[in-house]
Structure 1
């Protein structure tokens, strides 16, 4: 597949006191930027394995980013069509 556009997603992850936060930021060639957030917390009964918290927080941030991207697409469709957009996941 020829590449006509390149979008980049960066994920930043931080942890403090058993709480992990992640932010997934999408940047497009056109200068569009969207961000999604996710979090995870350690259950005191579980072993402290930071990689698992990172994975959960990053997955949730990417899911949030995907939802925000879908909402942005719906808003763009509505702007050009003057009709309500009905996009499903």
Structure 2
């Protein structure tokens, strides 16, 4: 059996701030949204691609933590025991 989960990332820039929203859809129709941002130092050269990369990485990291938290909650709901050893 094959399953597809899709992540759509939207990146916006305003002045020297880059924001990214990563939306995961697929798990029983539930959508999780991760957010990340990057702010360029005014003294640094303006390289928008770096802001995109940082904001996207932070949004995906946020999304990964939410997904791990969801998995822990699901495990605990099924086992009725506290999950140990997983960073959430």
Taking structure 2 as the reference length, the TM-score comes to: 0.92
- Report what 1:48 is aligned to: 46
Q: 1:57-87: per-residue Cα shift (whole Å, max 9, x none)?
A: 0000001100110000000001111101122
Aligned residues, how many?
A: 87
Deviation of 1:32 after TM superposition, in Å, equals 1.6
Matching of residue 70 in structure 1 with residue 51 in structure 2 = no
Q: 1:8-51: per-residue Cα shift (whole Å, max 9, x none)?
A: 00010111110110011100152021111100001111111111
Q: Which runs of 5+ in 1 are unaligned?
A: none
Instruction: Extract structure 1 runs of 4+ deviating beyond 3 A.
Output: none
* Helix, strand or coil at the partner of 1:20: strand
Q: Which runs of 5+ in 2 are unaligned?
A: none
